[in-house]
Amino acid sequence: MQTAPQLPYIEFCAGISAFHIASQSVKNLDFQCIGTSEIDSFCNTYLEQQGLNIFGGLQYVACPASEHPYAKICEAEDVVPCELNDGVGSLTYEDLMEGVVEWPKAIFAGWPCQSLSPANTLEGRGINGGKSDLYHDLMDKIEDLSAELVVLENSDKLTSGGLEIVVRDLTSLGYKVEWDIIAASAFGYPYYRHRCFVVAYNEESPLFSSSTKVLDIVAQKFAVKRPGEKFPFINNHSEQLLDKICTLESKGNYRRHRVAALGNSINVDIAYSILQTIADLYTGKQFADVVDCRNTPFLLEELESHSKSGFKKFPSRGYACKSELYCGERDFNLNPLLNQHKELGMMASLIRNDHKNNFTTTSRLSRPGGLGGLTGFFMSELGLNEGALNPSYCELYMGFPEGKTKVSSKLIRNKLLPN
């Protein structure tokens, strides 16, 4: 049996890594996770439980050994980092240069989106606001590591919150760049949850010379389901699925941590579609019937600026090579309007704030749009008034295997790196 070629990668701001879960189902290419960068204690505990190396804060991944907080302590006490700091290891620039760890060929990342998310009604500064400005540290790592492939994701509001900077920075480093807004509804889920995905590749990658774009393949070969086709609408829930919605055990067993992490995650099916497409192109599969949907030139100076962020309002789908910018017509299946499937009775997206609200939190009912989250939706639709969201239901809702986010150990506490 022929062994699939490997593509080693590092994931920054990993969360509970839908990309790692998705990669385990990919055919033709073996995505090998070198390690993850994450500062959340629950997520790090989960990632370690999945057998992944955890490296802590982004700024200390692939930094010179002399600049790492572990350096002097480990040398003086003759211990290895994971023994020193509750399982949190280190990856220095020297480790990579000396071949102790394989150099990453890919980088995945979904940096914090609080300043971009529609759930944040008080700020609109884009990638320069609050935690979202971690983007600039992330771009430093991308430049330092020069991985041949980069996959990024963030709020769909990134298009007017700094996508122009993301595209500019990546093209200046020699990458060709694709982007698109993708909703979970196109993968058969009964909610939208629009996210912006960016795929970039340099001349070391087979994608660089491909005539077919990754996100065009995703749109035309994977994102072809109707809402509710993969996960049922509430009126089509079985009794068994209805029973999974609510747990009366609102505290304990890391329920809140699990719901928060899932609310921050991307849908696993979307992650899989991107990784499988990359695997297919890396191994020579042809997609002659896929149409190029991002080939209309546009000029940056012709775009309007967003009133709050000050950034240009970028088209929702596009492609960039050097200084050339191209866009395409909006794909209303991949990126539907918020009222497009209104007649189907779309459900609310799971959001991070669902972790801190029980079905007794009546304020969820007065939140505008979908900002009441899945908690508010079930309170309104089912009249629930006790208990809280069950993580098992949330896992299925986001495309994770049921029970996947259960954690059986104490949470890892990163003693040295910023939290």
Which residues are CB-contacts of 254 (< 8 A; sequence separation ≥ 6)? 42, 406, 407, 411
Give the CA angle between residues 412, 418, 419 to the nearest 5°.
55
Instruction: Kindly report, residue by residue over 92-122, the tens digit of the pLDDT.
Output: 999 999 999 999 999 999 998 665 655 544 4
pLDDT at 68: 87
What integer pLDDT is reported at residue 121 of this predicted model? 45
Strands (E), 183-329: 195-201, 246-247, 296-297, 318-321, 324-327
- CA-nearest of 23, 97, 5 to 271 is 23
Domains (range + CATH), the chain: 6-227+266-335 (3.40.50.150)
pLDDT at 25: 98
CA count, 13 A, side-chain hemisphere, 256: 9
Q: What is the pLDDT along the chain (419 residues), one digit of tens a residue?
A: 578 899 999 999 999 999 999 999 999 999 999 999 999 999 999 999 999 999 999 999 999 998 888 766 666 555 555 455 556 888 999 999 999 999 999 999 999 866 565 554 445 556 765 555 799 999 999 999 999 999 999 999 999 999 999 999 999 999 999 999 999 999 999 999 999 999 999 999 999 999 999 999 999 999 999 999 999 999 999 999 999 999 999 888 999 999 999 999 999 999 999 999 999 999 999 999 999 999 999 999 999 999 999 999 999 999 999 999 999 999 999 999 999 999 999 999 999 999 998 999 887 677 666 668 999 999 999 999 999 999 999 999 999 999 999 998 899 887 655 44
**In this structure, are residues 183 and 293 in contact, taking their beta carbons and an 8 Å threshold?**
no
Quote the pLDDT of residue 419: 43
The 10 Å Cβ neighbour count of residue 419 is 12
Cα-flanking dihedrals φ and ψ of residue 194, to 5°? Answer: -65, 135
Locate tokens 């989106």: which residue? 113
Alpha-carbon torsion angle 398, 402, 408, 414, nearest 10? -20
Whether pTM > 0.95 for this model: the answer is no
**What does 144-204 look like in DSSP terms, one character per residue?**
HH--SEEEEEEEGGGGGTTHHHHHHHHHHTT-EEEEEEE-GGGGT-SS---EEEEEEE-TT
**How many residues in total does the chain contain?**
419
First-last CA distance in the chain: 45
CA 351 to chain centre: 13
Which is it for the CA torsion 356, 357, 363, 368, positive or negative?
Answer: positive
Query: Are 44 and 405 spatial neighbours (Cβ–Cβ below 8 Å)?
Result: no
Residue type at position 44: N
Is residue 349 a contact partner of residue 370, using CB atoms and an 8 Å limit?
yes
| pLDDT for position 113 | 63
Distance CA 391, CA 247 (A): 9
Distance CA 30, CA 106 (A): 12
Element (H, E) at 84: helix 81-84
Q: Are 218 and 274 in contact (CB under 8 A)?
A: yes
Amino acid at position 93, single letter: Y
Contacts 24+ apart (CB under 8 A), 112-115: 112/13, 113/154, 113/155, 113/157, 113/158, 115/161
User: In this structure, what are the phi and psi dihedrals at residue 396, rounded to the nearest 5 degrees?
Assistant: -65, -35
> What Rg value do the Cα atoms of the chain yield, rounded?
21
324-327: strand order across its sheet: 30-37, 6-12, 106-109, 149-155, 195-201, 176-182, 318-321, 324-327, 296-297
